[in-house]
Every structure is written in C-alpha cells, then in structure tokens.
Amino acid sequence: MNSTSSPPVGDIEFRMPRSRRSVGRARTLFTEQARCWKLPQGVTETAVLLLSELMTNAVVHAKVSQGREVWARCALRAEGTLRVEVLDADETPPTPRHASADDEGGRGLALIEALAERWGSEPREPGIGKTVWFELSVPGE
C-alpha cells in the first residue's frame, strides 16, 4: 500500500477477473470487511459507492489484454483514515470528464472528487499499470 501514514490497523486485498461481475463482488467483500472493522454506516456507504466507481473504470476503460486481473486493496489506518486502492494493468491515468445531463456515464471521478478526503493515481507497484486510490476519514478512529 503506497502511503506515508501510520501502518494499517487492518487491511485486505481482493484479486478478481476483469469482468463486470467483479464490481458487485468487490462491493460485497468490502461491505463484509467494513462490518468486521465496525466502520460507521455513512463511511461504509460512501466507500462502497467510490469503490464501485473505481472498479467499474478499471473493468470498462482499462485497455489491457484478456485475462488480466483487477485488484482492490483496502486499509484502515490507526489515525482514522480508510484508504481504498484499485489496481489495473493500464498505465493511462484517469481523466475526469464533464458529463452532460444526458450522458449515462462519466461521473465516477467527479463523485470521487466530491466525496473523498483525498484521491489520486500513481504508477502501479509492483508491475505495470496504475493504482487509483481514495481516502476517507473515519470518525472515532
């Protein structure tokens, strides 16, 4: 996990096929983990929404060969930060779009920008591709 903050209190990683079904599976797995971490409902709901957006971007927009996986990493840190990362094999950084009212998509990064404390992307380590991440504050941590 790329971060200069304190070590995780808990962390988890999911590796899934690059498939639309993996988006829902990631939401389910994260929700189960959030229950174990006893995250507040509002933090969990926001994290699930933003994780879903990042997973969808990795599955739909990453230009990679067949058979590549998408990874999701989630860490709850001692200072009260939840960091969620999605890794894919496409090196192209995400670019926010300005979706019109009639567009069916193009709002994911705008949601992340609006709801996350911080977010960004960086080259994937290890390997090829990128890591797109967001952080949320966890009250009471």
Model pLDDT for residues 65-104, shown as the tens digit of each residue? 777 889 999 999 988 999 999 999 888 888 766 655 655 5
Q: How confident is the model at residue 2 (pLDDT cuts 50, 70, 90)?
A: very low
Question: By the 8 A CB rule, do 82 and 39 touch?
Answer: yes
- According to DSSP, residue 92 is labeled P
Please report, as a single letter, which amino acid is at residue 67: G
Please report, as a single letter, which amino acid is at residue 52: S
Instruction: Answer yes or no: is 107 within a domain.
Output: yes
Q: Residue 82 maps to which CATH number? A: 3.30.565.10
Instruction: Answer yes or no: is 101 within a domain.
Output: yes
In angstroms, rounded to a whole number, what is the distance separating the alpha carbons of residues 141 and 138?
6
Instruction: Answer yes or no: is 3 within a domain.
Output: no
Instruction: Answer yes or no: is 122 within a domain.
Output: yes
Instruction: Answer yes or no: is 1 within a domain.
Output: no
Domain count, the chain: 1
pLDDT tens track for 122-136: 998 777 899 999 999
Q: Which residue has the higher pLDDT, 1 or 141?
A: 141
Minimal CA–CA distance to 123: which of 111, 133, 131? 131
The reported pTM is 0.86
In SS3 terms, 9-26 reads as EEEEEEEEECCHHHHHHH
Determine the structural domain holding residue 78 and report its residue range. Answer: 8-137
